[in-house]
Amino acid sequence: MHFRDGKIIYPKKLRIHKKIHIGIVGSGKMANEHAKVISSYNHSITKIVSSSLSLNTQKLIKKYNIKKHFFDFEKAIKSSPQVDGWIICSSWNTLLKNLKVSLKYNQPTLIEKSIPISAKNLKKLIRNISKKKKKKISVGYNRNYYDFIPLLVRNLKEAKLDMLFMFLPDPYSKILKKQGKTIKKYLVKYITSHWISLIYKILVLCNIRFSLKGIKSYSSKNILNSKKLIFNLKFKNKKIPLIICLIPDSPINTSIAFYSTKKNFILSPIENLEIYKKIIVKKKNNQNIYKPLKKIFKVDETFKPGFRLQYFDFVQSCIFNKKKSKFLTTIEDLVKIYTICEFMQ
């Protein structure tokens, strides 16, 4: 099944028959999630890089029969035998260092988000380190690979969109308390970029044009760090607004809504897709009762949602060098995503 078919994807049915060897950088929760996926394709993890032989690292080595452990990513790349690709899921403050190494050696790499760097410096980094090389790096925004996203994209292409709305109540205070003040500069990229990357990818897949030059930004002094962005989009020669409201620590679900004359599409929480077709009016006790006619689609949770499809796409695009998937977030896409995030800081 192809992503472009516009159908629900069943990740358990995907197969990669060629045996490949993967190296993992990091040994925390995300490393475990990626290891489950790699193992599900019957691929092997031959190298692991972590700053210490911690209990987490030892458990991964034992569970997946990993032959070699390294303390340094560059040394792991240089050592024999070579691996087919790398998955980097180290701590957020070491991701940039590891990205630089991957770019330097032009390694097929799936790197977790979020990388502590500005859009301007990321663009400069890509240009300086990897100049003429074909970049083989995918950024792990797994929500692009929720199994209902192709269905949503197909429906949006057919709809006459009137407005897009995003409500982002990200728990900034909780993150600051957990990670410390050093992350404050990158808060928007650390968590809000997850949702920005999703809306960015959906817009690209739907052939909806937008310009970063046309952004209007509004701040509110009444709510801590609240921000509202308004984009003017162009879809089938029609102008439509995209409104993004960032209100940190608000006790409500993150939601993305697409409004049209025929159907409305709601992601709230992001793991659910609700398609509203119409309102049914019924009489009860001589009063009108309004009930929406809708369909609900939920993500497959056999693995961490989106991870199995994401790995499949990474292998096809970055390791097997097949045509680059439109669902994949490239390092160049990340520059644009971070540019949008910086309007919200």
Class of domain 3-143+307-333 as given by CATH: alpha beta
CA pair distance 22, 297, nearest whole angstrom = 32
Residue 341 backbone dihedrals phi, psi, to 5 degrees: -60, -35
Reply yes or no on whether the pLDDT at 282 is more than 90. no
Query: How many other CB atoms sit within 10 Å of the CB of residue 72?
Result: 12
Q: Do 264 and 278 contact (CB within 8 A), yes or no?
A: no
Query: How many other CB atoms sit within 10 Å of the CB of residue 76?
Result: 20
For the record, the structure tokens of 169 come out as: 């109540």
Whether the ω angle into residue 81 lies within 30 degrees of 0, i.e. cis, is yes
The string of pLDDT tens digits covering residues 90-102 is: 998 899 999 999 9
CA pair distance 83, 308, nearest whole angstrom = 20
- From-to residues of CATH 3.40.50.720 in the chain: 3-143+307-333
- In the block, tokens 């006619």 appear at 293
pTM: 0.91
Q: Do 252 and 169 contact (CB within 8 A), yes or no?
A: yes
For the segment(s) 147-303, the CATH number from 3.30.1360.180, 3.40.50.300, 3.40.50.10470, 3.30.360.10 is 3.30.360.10
Q: 94: which residues sit within 8 A by CB, 6+ positions away?
A: none
Work out the mean pLDDT of the chain and round it to a whole number.
Answer: 89
Of the candidates 279, 296, 277, 297, the one whose C-alpha atom is nearest the C-alpha of residue 288 is: 279
- From-to residues of CATH 3.30.360.10 in the chain: 147-303
Q: Do 11 and 309 contact (CB within 8 A), yes or no?
A: yes
Q: 3-state class of 233 per DSSP? A: strand
The string of pLDDT tens digits covering residues 283-341 is: 888 888 888 889 999 998 999 999 999 999 999 999 998 888 889 999 999 999 999 89
